[in-house]
Amino acid sequence: MAAIAENWHKSKEKHNSKRRVHYFSAEYLLGRMITNNLNSLGILKEVIQLLEARGIDVNLFEAIEDIALGNGGLGRLAACFLDSAATHEIPLDGHGLRYKYGLFKQQIKDGEQHEVADDWQRFGTPWCKRRDDSTVEVTFADQKVIAVPYDMPIIGYMTDNISTLRLWQSEAVQEFDFQLFNNFEYEQAVSEKNKAENITRVLYPNENSYEGKRLRLKQQYFLCCAGITDIVRNFIKTYGNDFSRFAELNAIQLNDTHPTVAIPELIRILQDYNLPFDVAFEIARKTFSYTNHTIMSEALESWEVELFKSVIPNIYSIIVRINEKLNMVLETKSLDYEQIYRMQIIQDNRIVMANLATFVSSYVNGVAQIHTEILKKNVLKDWYAIYPERFQNKTNGITQRRFLSLCNPELTDFIAIILGSNDFIKDLSIVEGIKPFINDATAKEFATIKKQKKAQLADFIYKREGVKLSSEFIFDIQVKRLHEYKRQLMNALSILNIYYQIKDGALTDFTPTAFIFGAKAAPGYKRAKGIIKFINEVATTVNSDPLMQDLMRVVFVENYNLSYAERIMPAADVSEQISPAGTEASGTGNMKLMLNGAVTLGTYDGANIEIIQQAGFENNYIFGLRVEDIEKIKHNYNPKALYDSDSNIKRVMDSLINGAMQDTQDHSFTELYNSILYGTYWHRPDHHYILADFNSYMEAKLKANNDYKDWVEFSKKCLMNIASAGMFSSDRTIIQYAKELWHV
């Protein structure tokens, strides 16, 4: 820390001196900082050598540090943005929550997931600097707490610029009550302290499913109150009480709706400084922008009015005024009743956060082309109709510092030799330069590196999971959160289909493949947990069959996290991105795998579409219904008919109920079976179109499997993917945000 102190301080002053951006996010999935920071400072190789000389393996840090203050895509994107902004000297700093416990650690017992608390701070947190001079008091209807900032330096790659991630921790106003303590009321004495600390005790482990919990609302308001108070205080220190320049000097980006109460909070604070509501409103509208990350209706946040009022009544009153203002605006447009109803911020006794965020924003953006189009056509179509100029697309990206240079030094060196420099670590667009060099010789060299990365992963998996994999096998990989819409079940069923077809002689020349899964299920998400168990049952069946020895392996890795990802991405041949068209907003794992030279076996969904536009259909394996196709079949889709008429589909589906696989105590396999064939009271049969896409998925999967036989040609496809990954750097993304939406 001492080594970076001066640059950090200078960067803080610089960010303070002109227009700047504040990124507000409830999640940051940071992973390991140590290697990343050493890499940014350009001393990683040296340090590794020094450690090795003392017999210390740098990977030791993985057991000590893997900061998971996020669930998945959204949190990792925030972390990539911090890295890219710092590297490209964009004056951006983050605000977030310092959860005591990050995302749970996953244990698999008997094929089932169990959760263990992630006490990530237990060895101390050397990258966090506590700032007792910058605390904020946060007031709820029933509680007052202190927000204490912990600053983390975000070290740009090979630059002096160091950004700040400010993580707020909730503490009691008074450590404990001595009065009560002296009266022997020990539990009472510490109860305030516990209640205060509860607010940042734990990260909610839900991804893509909304739960209207009081504590979650408290977390959100806590973050927003602390962050906004801090920003305003800082503004006043430099520019005084004249807020007319506030929006010109500050842009605030909302990472999904989770930090949306920042909008009424800013209005509240400005009103405290005697600004009229309308003036405060306009400043807020100019300051904020909102990124949407999901179109799944079950993930859209809406708070019950009564609950909201009981936690932050003063913020509720401001939202009422904002809604009145909205209706004044809507009156001037000729809209029908339905439209006006759908746009209400307060609707059916609930506060619809996406409507609030869209109304009081300069810009709204989606995270891939198709996703932005869906926002404009469906989810936010009423808003698009009256504010078309607010809508933008910003296709996601990933940082190549972590997902290439750090995790795959072998491939990095190979690319650097071809290009004659490693400038691509700062400007990924130039990897395109390898295209003219894709030939038999480089394809073979690439294949050697890939095999080396597969061998390294196989070693690790053997140590961790006890399953032996051969680096001669194809590595077919699906790693991401477990969710029905991501269709891990379809993948598992396809593996079972291959297995049965090999057994009955229908499939004869299968190229040996290791199917690797990694995924955490939200603890309360029963079906997702059932799917994990099912994958593990398929693994047991396949791996224990002696006939499959040299043909197939199935592994579900325990506790898939960033450190695991950094080992898996470089070793993949096939990247499974198989959500039904129109459901995955973007995906970013698809980009990490592409950049490490895997071909995509995927649907026409999210950023897959742009990946294919860049790298070519001929170098990837695209299958399945398109959005328009689904739109057409949706109303008379009959999966039961497919099941009845297709013996392969019937056979794999029946494995869910015929005892071939050992079901969970609560019969989740049967429940999955029924949900696909018959639906339930809350959804139609097979609402993720597993059976509709099954055969075209099988065909694409087997085509990739067969193409791999000519591994030199296959490696050329991989190289074409790497060469085409330039636009998927988060550097490109963040520069676009900076230019087109923040104007910094």
Q: Does 259 bind ligand 26W (CB under 6 A)?
A: no
User: Residue 128 has what DSSP assignment?
Assistant: -
**Looking at beta carbons only, is 586 or 705 nearer to ligand 26W?**
586
Span of 162-170, 207-215, 231-239, 376-384 interacting with ligand 26W by CB under 6 A: 207-215
Smallest gap, in angstroms, from Cβ of residue 741 to ligand 26W? 15
Q: Does 606 bind ligand 26W (CB under 6 A)?
A: yes
Smallest gap, in angstroms, from Cβ of residue 70 to ligand 26W? 8
Q: Residue 233: how many CB atoms within 10 A of its CB? A: 12
Smallest gap, in angstroms, from Cβ of residue 524 to ligand 26W? 12
Q: Does 611 bind ligand 26W (CB under 6 A)?
A: no
Within positions 43 to 72, which residues make up the interface with ligand 26W, using CB under 6 A? Answer: 71-72
- Spatial contact of 252 and 224, defined as CB atoms under 8 Å apart: no
Report the distance separating Cα 9 and Cα 5, nearest Å.
Answer: 6
Instruction: Note the helical H segments in 504-607.
Output: 526-543, 562-568, 589-595
On the CB side of 403, how many CA atoms lie within 13 Å of its CA? 33
Report the distance separating Cα 429 and Cα 444, nearest Å.
Answer: 24
- Spatial contact of 461 and 469, defined as CB atoms under 8 Å apart: yes
The correct pick among 205, 587, 597, 639 for binding ligand 26W (CB under 6 A) is 587
Report the distance separating Cα 357 and Cα 300, nearest Å.
Answer: 12
Span of 149-157, 439-447, 584-592, 630-638 interacting with ligand 26W by CB under 6 A: 584-592
Q: Please pick, among 541, 588, 600, 603, the residue that the annotation labels catalytic.
A: 588
Within positions 394 to 433, which residues make up the interface with ligand 26W, using CB under 6 A? Answer: 396
Within positions 220 to 239, which residues make up the interface with ligand 26W, using CB under 6 A? Answer: none
Q: Does 206 bind ligand 26W (CB under 6 A)?
A: yes
* Residue 723 CB contacts under 8 Å (≥ 6 apart), including other chains: 431, 432, 433, 434, 435, 438, 615
Smallest gap, in angstroms, from Cβ of residue 419 to ligand 26W? 28
Catalytic, 401? Answer no
The correct pick among 21, 44, 67, 77 for binding ligand 26W (CB under 6 A) is 77
Report the distance separating Cα 223 and Cα 217, nearest Å.
Answer: 10
Instruction: Note the helical H segments in 544-689.
Output: 562-568, 589-595, 608-615, 627-633, 639-645, 647-654, 668-677
* Paired strand residues for 537: none
**Looking at beta carbons only, is 299 or 467 nearer to ligand 26W?**
299
Tokens 């992963």 label which residue? 457
Q: Does 289 bind ligand 26W (CB under 6 A)?
A: no
- Spatial contact of 527 and 676, defined as CB atoms under 8 Å apart: no
Smallest gap, in angstroms, from Cβ of residue 113 to ligand 26W? 19
Residue 270 tokens, joined: 């400005």
Residue 494 tokens, joined: 């396809």
The correct pick among 208, 395, 603, 664 for binding ligand 26W (CB under 6 A) is 208
Within positions 363 to 382, which residues make up the interface with ligand 26W, using CB under 6 A? Answer: 367
Q: Kindly state the number of chain residues that form the binding site for ligand 26W, as judged by CB under 6 A.
A: 23
Dihedral sign (CA 616, 618, 620, 625): positive
Span of 313-321, 517-525, 581-589, 655-663 interacting with ligand 26W by CB under 6 A: 581-589
**Looking at beta carbons only, is 295 or 598 nearer to ligand 26W?**
295
**Looking at beta carbons only, is 588 or 724 nearer to ligand 26W?**
588
- The amino acid at residue 247 is A
**Looking at beta carbons only, is 26 or 155 nearer to ligand 26W?**
26
In the shown chain, the binding pattern of residues 532 to 571 toward ligand 26W, with x for contact by CB under 6 A and - for none, equals: ----------------------------------------
Q: Does 486 bind ligand 26W (CB under 6 A)?
A: no
Secondary structure element (H or E) that encloses residue 116, with its range = strand 112-116
What is the SS3 assignment for 416-482?
HHHHCCCHHHCCHHHHHHHHHHCCHHHHHHHHHHHHHHHHHHHHHHHHHHCCCCCCCCEEEEEECCC
Q: Please pick, among 592, 688, 716, 732, the residue that the annotation labels catalytic.
A: 592
The correct pick among 74, 138, 434, 612 for binding ligand 26W (CB under 6 A) is 74
Catalytic, 293? Answer yes
Within positions 676 to 705, which residues make up the interface with ligand 26W, using CB under 6 A? Answer: none
The correct pick among 210, 290, 359, 383 for binding ligand 26W (CB under 6 A) is 210
Smallest gap, in angstroms, from Cβ of residue 256 to ligand 26W? 5
Report the distance separating Cα 472 and Cα 550, nearest Å.
Answer: 10
Catalytic, 732? Answer no
The correct pick among 39, 372, 541, 586 for binding ligand 26W (CB under 6 A) is 586
- Spatial contact of 542 and 513, defined as CB atoms under 8 Å apart: no
Q: Please pick, among 390, 402, 486, 529, the residue that the annotation labels catalytic.
A: 486
* Paired strand residues for 172: 145
Which region holds residue 743: left if phi is over 0, alpha if psi is between -120 and 50, else beta? Answer: left
Closest chain position to ligand 26W (CB)? 73
Give the residue among 351, 271, 344 at the shortest CA–CA distance from 307: 351
Span of 179-187, 208-216, 263-271, 684-692 interacting with ligand 26W by CB under 6 A: 208-216
Q: Please pick, among 22, 402, 480, 487, the residue that the annotation labels catalytic.
A: 480
Give the residue among 566, 538, 531, 367 at the shortest CA–CA distance from 460: 566
**Looking at beta carbons only, is 221 or 473 nearer to ligand 26W?**
221
Span of 579-587, 676-684, 689-697, 704-712 interacting with ligand 26W by CB under 6 A: 579-587
Catalytic, 144? Answer no
* Residue 474 CB contacts under 8 Å (≥ 6 apart), including other chains: 511, 512, 513, 514, 573, 574, 705, 708
Angle at 21 between CA 16 and CA 23, to 5 degrees: 125
Q: Is 111 helix (H, G, I), strand (E, B) or coil?
A: coil
Smallest gap, in angstroms, from Cβ of residue 471 to ligand 26W? 30
The correct pick among 65, 584, 605, 663 for binding ligand 26W (CB under 6 A) is 584
**Looking at beta carbons only, is 280 or 531 nearer to ligand 26W?**
531
Dihedral sign (CA 57, 63, 64, 65): positive
Q: How far is CA 39 from the centre of its chain?
A: 23
Q: Does 84 bind ligand 26W (CB under 6 A)?
A: no
Catalytic, 480? Answer yes
Q: Does 301 bind ligand 26W (CB under 6 A)?
A: yes
**Looking at beta carbons only, is 438 or 585 nearer to ligand 26W?**
585
Can you spell out the DSSP letters for 519-531?
Answer: ----TT-HHHHHH
Q: Does 487 bind ligand 26W (CB under 6 A)?
A: no
The correct pick among 83, 118, 207, 605 for binding ligand 26W (CB under 6 A) is 207
Q: How far is CA 680 from the centre of its chain?
A: 29
Span of 59-67, 291-299, 648-656, 667-675 interacting with ligand 26W by CB under 6 A: 291-299
Q: Please pick, among 76, 481, 701, 732, the residue that the annotation labels catalytic.
A: 481
Smallest gap, in angstroms, from Cβ of residue 635 to ligand 26W? 26
Smallest gap, in angstroms, from Cβ of residue 305 to ligand 26W? 18
Binding site for ligand 26W (CB under 6 A): 71-74, 77, 206-210, 256, 293-294, 299, 301, 367, 396, 584-588, 606
Catalytic residue IDs: 293, 480-481, 486, 588, 592
